[in-house]
Amino acid sequence: DVQMVESGGGLVQTGGSLRLSCAVSGFTFSDYTMNWVRQAPGKGLEWVSSISTSSSYIYYTDSLKGRFTISRDNAKSSLLLQMNSLRAEDTAVYYCARSRVGIRDAFDIWGQGTMVTV
């Protein structure tokens, strides 16, 4: 079965840091572009960042202004999100999501999310 499990969320003070992880199983992680999407309480979905299979292409939403860093470890089938200088507006459920085929395709598999409270 395909599984994507996020971890690393929690309560952090303003200005602090957190590192989110997404552990993947059930498919060949290195073949897929991966993404982070967040959802503030009671709000809609907001794309955060995307990373291509070999990390050659990385994109971020403009509002992050360099505070977050996406990375991946293909050997460990793991997606990471380093979040620094956290603000109250970063409070959200953070989902990892897989792109179907390539960096511009739909997100076909989602994890259950991890809550970050700032």
Partner 1 sequence: SYELTQPLSVSVAPGQTARITCGGNNIGGKSVHWYQQKPGQAPVLVIYRGNNRPSGIPERFSGSTSANTATLTISRAQAGDEGVFYCHVWDITTWVFGGGTKLTVL
| Least spacing, CB of residue 21 vs partner 1, in Å | 16
| Least spacing, CB of residue 72 vs partner 1, in Å | 17
Q: Which is nearer to partner 1, 50 or 80 (CB)?
A: 50
| Least spacing, CB of residue 91 vs partner 1, in Å | 17
Q: Which is nearer to partner 1, 50 or 53 (CB)?
A: 50
Burial class, 82, CB count within 10 angstroms (exposed 0-12 / middle 13-18 / buried 19+): middle
Q: Which is nearer to partner 1, 13 or 62 (CB)?
A: 62
Q: Which is nearer to partner 1, 13 or 34 (CB)?
A: 34
For residues 103 and 8, what is the distance between their CA atoms, to the nearest angstrom?
25
For residues 92 and 74, what is the distance between their CA atoms, to the nearest angstrom?
26
Encoded amino acid at 109, one letter? I
Sign of the Cα torsion 60, 66, 67, 69 reads positive
| Least spacing, CB of residue 86 vs partner 1, in Å | 22
